Every structure is written in C-alpha cells, then in structure tokens.
Amino acid sequence: MSPRQVDYVIFDVDGLLINSEHAYTAVIGNILAKHGTEFTQEMKSHIMGRPAREAFADLLSICPGIPLTVDTFLTQYDTALTLLWPTVTPLPGAYRLVRHLHAHGVPMALATSSRRKNYVAKTRHLRDMFVNFGDRVVCGDDLHSGMRGKPAPDIFLVAARELLGIAVGDTHGPCTEREREARRRGLVFEDGIAGMQGAKRAGMSVVWVPDGDLAVAECSGALKPDLILKSLEEFVPEEWGLQPYSDNSTVGDL
C-alpha cells in the first residue's frame, strides 16, 4: 500500500489551524521579561505542543532565576490569554481543507495538548470551522487512562480509536499487523516538533507545517515528517488518495 493513501485525518490545533501561537509566545515572553529573561526560539521549540504544566515545569527548570512556581506561572498565563483569545483567526488554507474533508466524508478528529477550557475559549468564535469536528476532540487534560502528552504517541492513538472508531490497538504495548496497518492509514497534520514526533511514533503519516520562525533544521533525529509544507494552502489532497479540491472550493475561505 502506498503511504499516501489515508482513511482518516487528525489535526493539531494551535499554530496549525489557528494563529494562536502568537498569543502563547507574547504571553510567555511577557512573563519571562518581567524577570529579566528572554523567551528565545530555542525555548519555544522545546515546549511547543506539549502539555502546559509539563512544558512550564521544564521552562522554569532552565530559568532558575525566576521566582515562580508552575501554578503561579499557569495562573498568570491563563489570565493574560483570556484577553487574547478573541483575536485568534484561522491560518491560511485551514478552513478550506477542513471543510473539504468534511464535505467528502473523511473521518476527522482533533488532538491538541491545549487544556479543554482553553480549547473552548479560543475556538468558540470560529464555529464555522470547528463545527466540522463535532465532539471529536482530545485535549491534553482529558482523563484518558494513562495518556501521556506529546511527543508520546498516545493522544493520536486515543483520537483514532476512541473518537473515530479505528482499530489501532492499545496506547501501550505491542499491536497486531492489522492494527499497524490501520495506524499507517492515518494522516496527521502538525506544526510542532513534539507533535510530529508523537504522530510518527503512533505509526501514522505526518504533514508538518512548522511555525514560520521554527527552522526545519531543528527537526533532527530518526523521526521525520512525510511532507513539509509552508502552509496548509500547499496541501494537495489527491496526492494522499483524497478527493481533489473542486474549482470553486476556495470560495468563502477564511
């Protein structure tokens, strides 16, 4: 089977479908700046796409001069983000692709490290796009038994198995050849390194759309994306065994 033939699609959210990364970057940068620390690109790439508490614990561990606990950091972070969520908009090509896949009956789910309260807050004004997913959303703080955050594969396997009904096997332990084949038929769209690595560990194909400031050269190691794009606008559905866009499919894009 060609790896470019897929039966279902899983999307990340932040920095992939919506431009929320600018909000995260601004808020974290402001918190660190108050304590004389610059939020560098290296720091951003290290924590991007990971569960918030885990990411901030790591961030504070490499910034020992900042007198904040993880809980205090999270409180300041959440308060500032609440003011920025209404400014979040879809990224180029996102609405077109989501609407197109939904129109052709392609099973889709969201797998985001974002906490559910933040996911709801940042997407409620973008119903035209997110209504296409219904309740098929896994968030980083959902209580799925033993689910580890990205770059572990868990969230993608949970999304496929529990939201889409795909027989991909258990999150932990070995899988059968049939389950492995079901995993190979999944296509994940990601923008973060941790998410890309997690999806590859899940045995799925990955289209990586890295943050504009994230150098592709930073993606090192054995886990590589199957395709790298500058924007979702560049994605060609038929190259993955999906229905091509129609001539008028760009009409109404956001």
Question: Catalytic residues, which ones?
Answer: 12, 14
C-beta of residue 100 within 8 angstroms of C-beta of residue 245: yes
Whole-number Å distance between alpha carbons of 100 and 102: 5
Whole-number Å distance between alpha carbons of 169 and 104: 26
What tokens appear for 189 in the block? 């769209």
Whole-number Å distance between alpha carbons of 183 and 220: 23
Q: How far is CA 107 from the centre of its chain?
A: 17
Query: What is the CB-side half-sphere exposure of residue 4 using CA atoms within 13 A?
Result: 10
What tokens appear for 210 in the block? 């890295």
